[in-house]
Amino acid sequence: MLNKLTKLSQSNWYWAALIAIGIAMEAVALFYQYGLDYGPCVLCIHVRIWVMAMILIAITGLCLNKCPRFRALAHFGILISAAGLLERSWQTLAVERGWIIDTCSMDSGLPDWFALDKWLPHMFEPWEPCGYTPELLFGITMAEGLIVFSATLTVTAFILFISGFKK
């Protein structure tokens, strides 16, 4: 089993799958925003940023996959972005369910040196206050889907990061 995980962690298909999944997630978010008129909240924008980080790290991992040190660094980057995505997904679900009272504002909370909401407003500008996410399929909300996906990604990234140290 560990040999299969190690092989997967060294495969270009793994990185390509992460890129494809990330692009699909961003495309779904933009479809909901512009096609179905569900504006993103600040937490949704933060989720998009973590997904974009995952895509960029996966592109780097794909390009530098032959070098074990860079591959390990890319696996660590995916683990960090997955953990960040998990935290933001949990926060989104907690606000949606009323588990926490969030004082979510229309300010993205991004520093001036990383003003994605100003540079790419069509993608990273919050439109609505936090509180609910739209339904995807079968009564599952976007926040519920994100928490399941991000938890799965975090566990997978952790396992593949650890398996990369097998000699």
pLDDT digits (tens, 9 = 90+) for 49-72: 999 999 999 999 999 888 888 888
For helices 142-163 and 42-63, what crossing angle results, to 10°?
Answer: 30
pLDDT of residue 84: 94
If one counts the domains in the chain, the total is 1
Alpha helix ranges (H) inside 10-141: 12-30, 42-63, 68-97, 116-119, 121-124
Residue 136 DSSP code: -
Mind listing the pLDDT tens digit for each residue in 117-161? 778 778 888 778 777 777 888 888 888 899 999 999 999 889 888
Answer whether residue 114 shows pLDDT above 90. no
**Longest CA–CA separation in the chain, Å:** 51
More confident residue, 96 or 107: 96
Residue 23 to residue 146: CA distance in whole angstroms: 15
CATH number at residue 99: 1.20.1550.10
pLDDT of 1 strictly over 70:
no
Q: How do residues 80-102 score in pLDDT, each as one tens digit? A: 999 999 999 998 888 887 787 76
What per-residue confidence (pLDDT) applies to 166? 62
For the chain, helix, strand, coil in percent to 5 are 70, 0, 30
Distance, CA of 107 to CA of 90 (rounded, Å) = 20
* pTM to 2 decimal places: 0.86
| Alpha-carbon gap, residue 53 to 69, rounded angstroms | 19
List the domain range (segments joined by +) for residue 29.
2-163
- Predicted confidence at residue 69, as pLDDT, reads 86
Residue 38: strand, helix, or coil: coil
The predicted pLDDT at position 103 comes to 63
